A and B are shown apart, each in its own frame.
Chain A
């Protein structure tokens, strides 16, 4: 369970979220316009940015966690990988997910390599193991990122717009993987895609005007969407005409 008490986030003197208090039971989809603070919220959660107030996960205040303990608790999957060293292979990249568990200073354990192999097979990308990240398509990169997060064996996995760069076919593959992961993990999903959010079937956090509000399934009802977006669900699928 994730609890936020009086959570406020500012970035470069600009207030992004103001006094948000909420309790999330389990999985969560986060919706809201560009720049509304969705990513900032998850970055605060993952310890990447500073915030005021308290966030507790399973009654542990995450400010008191060591970076290592936090890495074991939650992993974060960015929309797109921006690498400096593009010479790293898929296998090596997924192995980085085992860093929080590394005991020896100079090497990873056999078990770590085994877990990497398992995850690559689970996501059907074992054939890409020796390829460098730079050679992959966007869909394959997203799968590699998921494999790394799974190797990290954290309870919570945060997805930051996972389908934003993907074609419909790959979006579907990723969506199905995310849904399947609900079995063993807590999923936090940032997305603009209402269909994806509805498919994942979780509580919804809607962020608007520096505040955030939690909704249950009723979020996807036409009356609620009309209230929040000013139009019905059927009209919210992106149309370009």
Chain B
């Protein structure tokens, strides 16, 4: 009952979302076409809502993957410092004044992507030195990397001009604002590829979610599958974060919530987690556009305000076990 109500609310919000914001739009205006409001709808609102939907899907699904592969509810690309890596990359691009475009994509995005990717490789490299049971150590590594990135970012802030710093601050807060269809289509393709990829490996994932030993005994090359899935989801996160900036906690909250709502094994939670993550981020984005009338609250702030206390709750719940 609660489950259905929750889904229904989110789906209704999804359909309302393109119509609300700084300017409220009505259906008749849009259907007339060629008006300013129709342009707002087709070139700003609709792309944005779809961008949010697919971004939320990627964040939630990656969270589920990381949590399952590391067998730890606190592991997400965000808590492991991958998003911070993207922010630092973007910060460097902004500081260097690389606002020019490469292959039609902003230098900030390319540097952000490189930052996320480098962090993943660094984590994989460093994790070799941990014992097989070193989950907590890996989490600490991620946090240490995040702190290190933040201090480097502070240096960039200190040296940066006011305009650069303003750009950087906006990027670190995360934003789903997109103009036109280029990024929504890119992110939709990335999300669908990621989902397809996870479906391809869902039975391996199911075995590995039982135990690493069990998976090996059934003929799964666990090391290879783990690296493959981590690399692919990190790529997806890298692409997303380089465009949107860091959006935290979706990957932490949604897989956990879905597991509570649907106590079934992982293969049956993949699609639910992805869809719910997408709808949830659309709702958060709608909130960010309606709380303030003049401008909008950055989405990263909204998800962090919801997610921060939840993170603390998870740590305590985990420690109790």
- Taking CB atoms, residues of chain A closer than 8 Å to B265 are 85, 87-89, 92
Which of the residues A71, A84, A105, A152 comes within 8 Å of B210, measured between beta carbons?
A84
Are A82's CB and B207's CB within 8 A?
no
Q: Does B164 contact A (CB under 8 A)?
A: no
> Given A48-B217, A76-B217, A87-B259: A82 and B200 within 8 A (CB)?
no
* Contact, CB under 8 Å: A85 / B220: no
Question: Roughly how many angstroms separate A100 CA and B264 CA in the complex, as a whole number?
Answer: 23
Q: Is B203 an interface residue (CB 8 A)?
A: yes
Q: Is the interface of B mostly helix, strand, loop or mixed?
A: helix
Query: Does any Cβ of A come within 8 Å of B199's Cβ?
Result: yes
Q: How far is the CA of A100 from the CA of B217 in the complex (A)?
A: 9
Looking at the complex, which of A62-70, A165-173, A195-203, A226-234 is the stretch in contact with chain B?
Answer: A62-70
Name the residue on A nearest B67 (C-beta): A84
| In the complex, chain A residues whose CB is within 8 Å of the CB of B68 | 84-85
Kindly identify which residue among B200, B207, B213, B221 contacts A105, using a CB–CB cutoff of 8 Å: B200
Known contacts A87-B263, A87-B265, A105-B200; is-contact A100 B218 (Cβ 8 Å): yes
A97 within 8 Å of B (CB atoms): yes
CB contact under 8 A between A78 and B213, given known A87-B265, A96-B207, A105-B200: yes
Return the CB mask of A67-106 against B: 1 if under 8 Å, else 0. Answer: 1111110011010011111011100110011011010011
**Smallest CB separation, B205 vs chain A (Å):** 9
Instruction: Tell me if B219 and A71 are in contact (CB < 8 A).
Output: yes
Complex: chain B residue closest to A85, CB-CB: B209
Chain B residues with CB under 8 A of A46: 217
Report the minimum CB–CB distance from A181 to chain B (whole Å): 17
CA distance A144 to B209 in the complex (A): 17
* Known interface pairs A84-B71, A87-B259; A96-B220 also in contact (CB < 8 Å): no
The closest CB in chain A to the CB of B263 belongs to A87
| B266 in the interface (beta carbon within 8 A) | yes
| B100 part of interface (Cβ distance < 8 Å) | no
Interface centre among A66, A68, A78, A84 (most CB of B within 10 A): A84
As a 0/1 sequence over residues 215 to 229 of chain B, the CB contacts with chain A under 8 angstroms (1 = contact) are 011111100000000
Chain A residues with a Cβ closer than 8 Å to the other chain, count: 33
- B9 CB–A CB distance under 8 Å: no
Cα–Cα distance between A138 and B95 once the two chains are bound (Å):
61
From A71, A82, A87, B218 is in contact (CB under 8 Å) with A71
Q: Which of B203, B221, B264 is in CB contact (< 8 Å) with A102?
A: B203
Q: How far is the CA of A84 from the CA of B207 in the complex (A)?
A: 10
Known: A71-B217, A84-B71. A99 touches B203 (CB 8 A): yes
**What B residues does A66 contact at CB under 8 A?**
219
Report the Cα distance A218→B143, complex, angstroms: 60
Nearest Cβ in chain A — how far from B317, in angstroms?
Answer: 15
Q: Give Cα A222 to B200, complex, Å.
A: 58
Residue of B nearest to A65 (CB): B219
B206 interfacial by beta-carbon distance below 8 Å: yes
User: For residue B266, which residue of chain A has the nearest CB?
Assistant: A85
How far apart are the CA atoms of A176 and B207 in the complex, in Å? 29
- A47 close to B (CB within 8 Å): yes
Using A81-B211, A85-B266, A88-B210 as known contacts, list a sample of 19 further A-B pairs with CB atoms less than 8 Å apart, ordered by residue number in A. Answer: A66-B219, A67-B216, A71-B217, A72-B219, A78-B213, A83-B210, A84-B68, A85-B209, A85-B265, A87-B259, A87-B264, A92-B206, A93-B210, A99-B219, A100-B218, A100-B219, A106-B200, A108-B203, A152-B218
